[in-house]
Structure formats: structure tokens, C-alpha cells
């Protein structure tokens, strides 16, 4: 995977921007990032307006966008996974945790294949309720779509997860695919040890059958 490019937005009077710029310059020299572009919004305000940026420092690293100050170690960690599904999943997790669901929605609407990055959140038993609910909203927006149906095998795997909450959620999303190919996965959960999983599996099977 090639090193991601970085776009850093700064301003003349930002106290944290110099440290961010220095850290990114070091990562550029080390080959951790492939290219670094820095824009002073006081000189080029139209750049911030086009990106909807109101505060600095602001960084786009690959497809990931980070607001506020971050250490060199944090930036290196993000750079290492910036264009991977795992990295996008971690970024979506941060957005949902911070209540920025619309941002995640906009990203997926612009690139529907990014929906796959929501699945690691579904399978994350340590994710908070708000984060899990946010992941559900993102998946539900694609109910009945080819984009969601493409994730059917992975949802099927999640329906066998050790945690009942994950199995229940996966059964719900399998039903949202509207695809008969989900039935074997759901049939297998009708005898699940957890009552909620059994109920949701039955409801999803009924939804698919019409």
C-alpha cells in the first residue's frame, strides 16, 4: 500500500499548527506519507470554504480527515492505515463516538464501497451503544441495495459471532438485504441460545419472504 498524501490546513495565529506541520514534515522525510501540502487559510480562505473547515489544524490523510492537534505517533498510526478498511473503520468509530454521524453518512454516500468499513464496528463488542446505533443507521440507509447485498457473506459470518448482541444485529442487517441468499444464515439462528437473536432471525426471514 503506497504511503498516503497529506493536506494540512493551518492559520498564522494557530498555536498548535507549527507542531503538526513539523511532525508531518518528519513523517514525509521518513516515507510514512507520500506528499505533504500545507495551506494557510488566512491566505487561501477559499480552500477551507470548499472543504467546510472552520477550525485548524485540520488534516486530510488519505481518505481520513482529522480535526485538532495530534501527536507525531498518532499521525504515524493513522498514516499506516489511512487507506485500509481497518483504518476507515477506526475513523468511522471516532466520528460516531463524537456524534458526527452526518460526516460518516456523507463519506459513504460519496463512496458506497466504504460501507464495508462499518462491519468491523458491528463486530466490535467494546463499541458503545451510541456507536453501534450509529453503525446501524449507516447500514439501514442501504437497505435493499446492491451495496448492502455485497456484504451478505460477511454479515453471515457476524451472525455466528460469540456475542449475542453481534449475532442479533447481524440477523437484522441480513434481513435488510432482502436477499434470499441470507436465509441459510438466518435459519441457523432460529435455534440460537439467545431469545432476542431467535426473534430477530425470525422477523428477518419473514421480511425477506414478504
pLDDT score for 139: 97
For 9-31, write each residue's pLDDT tens digit.
999 999 999 999 999 999 999 99
End-to-end CA distance of the chain: 44
Joined grid coordinates for residue 75: 499521525
pLDDT score for 143: 96
Q: What are phi and psi of 30, to 5 degrees?
A: -85, -5
CA torsion, points 56, 61, 66, 71, in degrees to nearest 10? -80
Q: Which residue has the cell 437484522?
A: 172
Q: Which parts of the chain have pLDDT scores under 70?
A: none
Instruction: State CA 209 to chain mean position distance.
Output: 31
Surface-to-core class of residue 184, CB atoms within 10 Å of its CB (0-12 exposed, 13-18 middle, 19+ buried): exposed
Contact indicator for 56, 17 with CB cutoff of 8 Å:
yes
Beta bridge partners of 65: 60
Joined grid coordinates for residue 86: 481497518
Adjacency order of strands within the sheet including 64-67: 35-40, 5-10, 58-61, 64-67
pLDDT score for 210: 73
What span, in angstroms and rounded, lies between the C-alpha atoms of 45 and 40? 8
Joined grid coordinates for residue 172: 437484522
What span, in angstroms and rounded, lies between the C-alpha atoms of 66 and 153? 32
Q: Which residue has the cell 481518505?
A: 63
Global pTM value: 0.89
Amino acid at each position: 500500500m503506497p504511503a498516503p498524501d497529506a493536506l494540512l490546513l493551518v492559520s498564522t495565529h494557530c498555536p498548535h499548527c507549527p507542531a503538526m506541520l513539523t511532525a508531518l514534515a518528519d513523517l514525509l522525510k521518513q516515507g510514512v506519507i507520500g506528499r505533504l501540502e500545507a495551506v494557510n487559510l488566512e491566505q487561501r480562505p477559499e480552500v477551507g470554504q470548499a472543504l467546510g473547515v472552520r477550525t485548524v489544524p485540520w488534516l486530510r490523510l488519505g481518505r481520513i480527515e482529522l480535526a485538532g492537534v495530534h501527536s507525531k505517533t498518532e499521525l504515524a498510526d493513522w498514516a499506516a492505515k489511512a487507506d485500509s478498511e481497518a483504518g476507515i473503520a477506526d475513523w468511522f468509530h471516532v466520528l460516531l463516538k463524537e456524534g458526527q454521524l452526518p460526516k460518516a453518512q456523507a463519506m459513504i454516500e460519496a463512496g458506497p464501497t466504504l460501507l464495508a468499513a462499518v462491519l468491523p464496528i458491528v463486530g466490535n463488542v467494546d463499541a458503545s451503544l451510541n456507536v453501534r446505533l450509529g453503525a446501524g443507521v449507516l447500514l439501514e440507509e442501504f437497505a435493499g441495495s446492491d451495496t448492502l447485498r455485497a456484504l451478505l457473506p460477511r454479515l453471515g459470518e457476524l451472525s455466528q459471532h460469540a456475542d449475542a448482541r453481534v449475532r442479533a444485529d447481524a440477523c437484522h442487517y441480513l434481513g435488510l438485504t432482502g436477499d434470499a441468499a441470507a436465509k441459510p444464515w438466518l435459519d441457523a439462528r432460529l435455534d440460537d441460545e439467545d431469545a432476542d437473536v431467535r426473534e430477530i432471525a425470525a422477523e428477518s426471514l419473514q421480511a425477506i419472504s414478504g
